[in-house]
Amino acid sequence: MKRKSIIFFSLLYFAASQLSCIEEAVLSSFTEDFETQALILREIEQRGDYINSQDLPAFKTASDVFNNLQDCIILDVRTSEEFNSGHINDAINIHHTTLFDYVTNSYEVNKDYIIISGSGQSASYYASLFRLYGLKNIYTLQFGMASWHSDFAGLIIDKTQSPNLINIFNNIDYPKPKFTNLPKLTKPDNSSIENFYTERIKTMFSEGFAETSTGNISAINTVDFEHLSVPGENEFYICLNRDIFFFGKLGDLNNPGHPKGTVLYECYYPGSLLKSTSYLQTLPADKTLILYSFSGQLSAMAVAQLRLLGYNAKSILFGAHAMFYERLLNTLAYSPFVFQKKLVVNYPYVK
C-alpha cells in the first residue's frame, strides 16, 4: 500500500467517525468494505493509539509508588517463588494468564494499577495491552523490583556486562523500506471486530512475556541480545529512540552505534514514526521485527501494539543495557534512562 493509500484510509476513517447519526445498518455496511487488519488499526486508534500517544511511557518511579501506596493497586506478575523472596506490602501476586480477567472484572477507575515485574519489561508489555484495551490508569513500575530495593537489582545489573559487539555495529543511517500492506488478519465470520480485538488481547496475555534471558530466542515475543551476533535473514531490526541514541557518535564510523541493518523509528509523541499517518506501513509484514530501546521496557510496549496488529514483533531483552551499557553511563543525555544500583532508594518490602 502506498502512502497515498494511508491518507485515503485516514480520510475514510475520519468520514466513518462522523456517521454517528446514520442508522447502524448503514455503518455496518460501510465497515464491511475494510479488511480486518484495517479495522484493528482503527480500533487501536480509537482507544488511544498508545505507543504513539503522549501517555507513552506510562511509568511510575519507585518514589511515585511509595509515596502514593494508598491510591494504588499493586499487581506483581513475577513467579510465586520470586514474589515470596520479597514484595511490596499488600501487593497481589497474579499470573499473566489471569491478569486480564482480574483487572477487568474488579476494575476501579479511581485507583492506579501498578504492574510490577522483576525488571519492568514484562510489566510494560502487559500494561501496554491494558492501554490498548482502553484502560488509562494502568502503569508500570519503572525498572521493576530492581528499582525498589537493591536486593533485587541484580536482575538488571547482571545484564549490563557489555559484550563486544563492535564488529556487528556501525553508524550507517539505513533508509526505511517502501510502504507496503499491513499484516493480514482473518476474523471469524461470527465475531464482531470489537470481540475479535478483545480476544486477540486476551490471547497475548495468555502467551506471556518472558523477561529473563535464556539465550537466542527465549519466547514468542522476545529475543536475547546474543542473537544479534547471528541475525536471521528474515529479520528487520528497529531502534526505538532518537538520533542521539541511534548513533554512537554522530558522523564517526569508528564509534559504532547500532547493529548492521538497524533502522531508526522515533517513538515519542508528537513525532512518533509508527503512526498510521507516518511510517507504520514501512514495517515489512513478511519479516520478524526485532526492536530495542534503552532498557527493553519501551520496546516491550511497542511489541505489544505491533503484535496486536499482526506483526511478528519481538523485543531485545534489556535493550541497550545489555548491548552497550558503558556507553549509556558515559553519555550525559542518557542518564535519566539508565539503571544504576547506587541510585536505588531501598524502600521496605515484606516476605
Domains 59-158 and 166-337 share a fold: yes
Q: Give the whole-angstrom CA distance, residue 174 versus residue 262.
A: 7
pLDDT tens-place values along the chain, 351 residues long: 444 444 444 444 444 443 333 233 333 333 444 689 999 999 999 999 999 999 999 999 999 999 999 999 999 999 999 999 999 999 999 999 999 999 999 999 999 999 999 999 999 999 999 999 999 999 999 999 999 999 999 999 988 875 666 667 888 889 999 999 999 999 998 899 999 999 999 999 999 998 876 555 557 899 888 777 766 789 999 999 876 677 765 444 456 788 888 999 988 888 899 999 999 999 999 999 999 999 999 999 999 999 999 999 999 999 989 888 887 887 777 777 899 988 899 999 999
Counting beta carbons within 10 angstroms of the beta carbon of residue 339, is it exposed (0 to 12), middle (13 to 18) or buried (19 or more)?
buried
Is residue 58 a contact partner of residue 298, using CB atoms and an 8 Å limit?
Answer: no
Q: Which residues of 102-132 are buried (b: 16+ CB within 10 A; e: fewer)?
A: ebeeeeeeeebbbbbbbbbbbbbbbbbbbbb
Residues present in the chain in total: 351
> Would you kindly state where each structural domain of the chain is located, as residue ranges?
59-158, 166-337
Whole-angstrom CA distances from 156 to 124, 152, 187, 261 are 15, 9, 40, 27
The closest of 142, 138, 133 to 55, measured between CA atoms, is: 138
Is residue 345 a contact partner of residue 219, using CB atoms and an 8 Å limit?
Answer: no
* CATH 3.40.190.10 given to domain 59-158: no
42-89 pLDDT, tens per residue? 999 999 999 999 999 999 999 999 999 999 999 999 999 999 999 999
Is residue 113 a contact partner of residue 310, using CB atoms and an 8 Å limit?
Answer: no
CATH fit for domain 166-337, picks 2.40.30.10, 1.10.357.10, 3.40.250.10, 3.20.20.150: 3.40.250.10
pTM reported for the whole predicted model: 0.88
Whole-angstrom CA distances from 150 to 10, 50, 157, 340, 348 are 48, 31, 10, 10, 11
Q: Give the whole-angstrom CA distance, residue 146 versus residue 303.
A: 22
Q: If you ran DSSP here, which 8-state letter would residue 337 be given? A: G
Q: Give residue 245's pLDDT.
A: 73
The closest of 283, 143, 287, 295 to 225, measured between CA atoms, is: 295
219 SS3 class = strand
